[in-house]
Amino acid sequence: DAGVTQSPTHLIKTRGQHVTLRCSPISGHKSVSWYQQVLGQGPQFIFQYYEKEERGRGNFPDRFSARQFPNYSSELNVNALLLGDSALYLCASRELGHLRAGDTQYFGPGTRLTVL
């Protein structure tokens, strides 16, 4: 079975541009979450989508938006890019919307975004 897939793997943008990152969850998983990991820090929660609805949002500005499609894949959009948006963007999938004790959340390999 394929794991969580993300595209592209690497991306270079300039300040002010817009970016769209894509994620396909593990087959059968309906929940997708997005995280931002800046160098030297742990991942920070951005969004969770379950059954195409936003179920959670982290402390990120409105420049960040996301959506989930009927096939449960997801897109993360970031507008008006800033230098500080340079990071590894991770997508994680899980079968259910809620987290039970011992539940496993599977991460994709991430998209490394560099903003110049």
Partner 1 sequence: RKEVEQDPGPFNVPEGATVAFNCTYSNSASQSFFWYRQDCRKEPKLLMSVYSSGNEDGRFTAQLNRASQYISLLIRDSKLSDSATYLCVVNEAGTASKLTFGTGTRLQVTL
Out of 24, 29, 50, 115, point to the residue binding partner 1 (CB under 8 A). Answer: 50
For partner 1, the closer CB: 12 or 80: 12
Alpha carbon distance 21, 112 (integer Å): 10
Query: 4-33: which residues touch partner 1 (CB under 8 A)?
Result: 31, 33
Residues 6+ apart with CB under 8 A from 85: 78, 113, 115
Pair of tokens at residue 61: 């500005």
Residues 6+ apart with CB under 8 A from 95: 28, 29, 30, 31
For partner 1, the closer CB: 5 or 65: 5
Out of 28, 42, 70, 84, point to the residue binding partner 1 (CB under 8 A). Answer: 42
Query: 72-111: which residues touch partner 1 (CB under 8 A)?
Result: 90, 92, 94, 97-110
For partner 1, the closer CB: 18 or 25: 25
Tell me how far CA of residue 26 lies from CA of 7, 13, 64, in angstroms.
Answer: 14, 28, 24
List residues near partner 1 by CB under 8 A: 31, 33, 35, 40-45, 48, 50, 55-56, 58, 90, 92, 94, 97-110
